[in-house]
Amino acid sequence: MEIGEAAQLIEAIARSIERNPSQFHFMVNIAGTKVTNIGGGTGLSVQAIGGGDGSQTIGFQSNMSGANIEIAQKAADAAISQEMSALVKNLDNLVSELRSSAPNKSRINSILDLLKQTWVPNVITSIVANIIAKVAFSY
């Protein structure tokens, strides 16, 4: 694969993520306890939830109102947006390096390693790594 083709493919991935970051879906599971008021406030029913078979992971879950959920969701949305922006920036850095007059293979590999050490879905890191592996560097 020519280096320009690789840059073009990676740039297409970056633009796709930038235009439609919601194409990725994240699921969060909570392990903990659920407390329910029973008998008109005279007692509580506590049920352990989460953790899975053989798990030692049990925690505490407490819901107060829908407002708390909205605040948590806004914080999560902001964090995901920031992470998506960082992903696009790293992909753009790869494209810039590939399009430079003398691409630095160690810098390219550093950016790839950075992607592999983050939350980035494996499908993205695998595709980008395979594109880079097929590039015929001319040095």
Extents of the domains making up the chain: 3-133
Q: How far apart are CA 76 and CA 18, in angstroms?
A: 18
For residue 14, the model assigns a pLDDT of 94
The closest of 94, 129, 109, 88 to 8, measured between CA atoms, is 94
Report whether pLDDT(78) > 60: yes
pTM equals 0.65
Q: How far apart are CA 57 and CA 54, in angstroms?
A: 9
Q: Between these two residues, 121 and 8, which has the higher pLDDT value?
A: 8
Residue carrying the six token digits 């999560």:
76
Q: Which of 39-48, 79-88, 91-100, 118-127 has the lowest mean pLDDT?
A: 39-48
Look over the chain and give the mean of its residue pLDDT values, rounded to a whole number. Answer: 77
